[in-house]
Structure 1
Amino acid sequence: MVIAKASANPVLTFQNFSLRCDKSNPNVSFKQPWSWGLSSGNRIAVITTNSYLRYQLIVGLAGLVPPVSGEFFGEGVIGWPVGGEAGLDSKLRVSHAFSFLSNVYGDCLEKSQISSDEVWTLLEEVSIYPQLIIKELTKTQKDFFFLALSVLFSFDLYLIPKTKFLMSKAAKPLRRLLLKQIEGKSLIATSTNSRFLREFCADGLVLGSFGEILFSGELSESMQWARDNLEGFDVSDSEDDKFDVGLNLTNLETSDDQDDDF
């Protein structure tokens, strides 16, 4: 099973954990808070028709928003969302951004299955050079650069919210490296791209609109259960998913939801 109530060495543990489930109403959260552990090595696809819940789960685990209730804690390092900007200032040069993260995540770099030289070689093949400034890169170059940084470090838990670029032809060499990097590691993905799910995930966790755990098991079984029981469930190889940090990130039940700007 994906969920281990009494896992011997969980990589992630939830205790009375609840998130906001409705973008328009800050008072709507999990009907039943989570108290369970995620075993090391599980690669889970979170399956739900509530797109806001998918978003909240990733930003919550990334530490960008507080839970409505409870807490979660990990036994290892949780990476920033794969392909995300990792909090980097766009005015930094590529080399400075690379050095900054290497210092912050030095232990993760030492354990990496990927060498820095491999990543620099791939960056140079798409004309991304150390002296360039991040904000002056093209959109495709930025996507490639941020994905490359995500791939370089060895995290204990990877968070993958969107996969449009990851599954593109341009990202094929990075996709190969990421598959190598995540061997034996844990992963939580909220993408609905079926090709990505088949390639990267082994298990599924089906959630209701209010965070209810409806089904957990092997990926194909979970997807079939969702097809049979979730109205509006769909996956597509051409998924155009979004992960917009401009959404309102407030989770506190007492907060006002006056606008959607962060």
Structure 2
Amino acid sequence: MGTDRWIRRMGVPGSGNVRLVCFPHAGGAVTFFTGLARALAPDIEVLGVQYPGRQDRHREQPVDEIPRMAAAVGEELEALLSDGRPCAFLGHSMGALVAFETGLLLRGGQASKGLTRLFASGRATPPAGPLPGDLVTGDELLTELHRMGGIGEDVLNDPEMLSMIMPVVQADYQALAAYRMAPGASLDCPVTVLTGETDPVVSPQEAARWQEVTSAPTQVHVFPGGHFYLQDQVRQVAAVVRESLLPG
């Protein structure tokens, strides 16, 4: 991976002309998209957004506001995307909201001309679905993460591991609880909705509400699995991405 602060290249640059920027979920890191990057290489170059507080940025303070995350990502992407190469965003769960806000910030600039599509995964647009505003501390948050499949029994039973991940997860959930989409906010690129058929966080019907925040067409793809369906459906998701981004 590259050594940029927020944006990481997932492997070597692709030979194709298309980039995909991936935004992780609450508590997640760029490594969540490693399998997808491999499945899309070399035709699509995959970049990952590394939020503060995790992995090689573990010494940094987590950001607890989605607009601030988007502003920081957008600043780095402005220079990266100014070459006009086509680029799409893929955000999973919280990452879908960060990707959306980043897309809004890039509108009207040189970088926005290459933004071809948003893949919104595992997340409804507010206000559809409850925001976890009361799940920011303690056992309730751990129970919620375990229910969604975000952490396993091994992590729950490892106090040292929990002490490392909980500040990041709590900050991310605080960001989710505080987030409100601005009235009338809308993109002008197509949106592809990706969701698991048994996702406890968002139903396929709620996920389809992304059509309300773009002036372009919206597609919905439902995969077997829950909130983290992507872990088991990498090839199927890669096929949808390829079909959406690559000509003929």
Does the pair score TM above 0.5?
A: no
Tell which has more relative contact order, 1 or 2 (C-alpha 8 A, sep 6+): 1
TM-score of the two chains, using structure 1 as the length reference: 0.28
Larger Rg: 1
Structure with the higher helix share, 1 or 2: 2
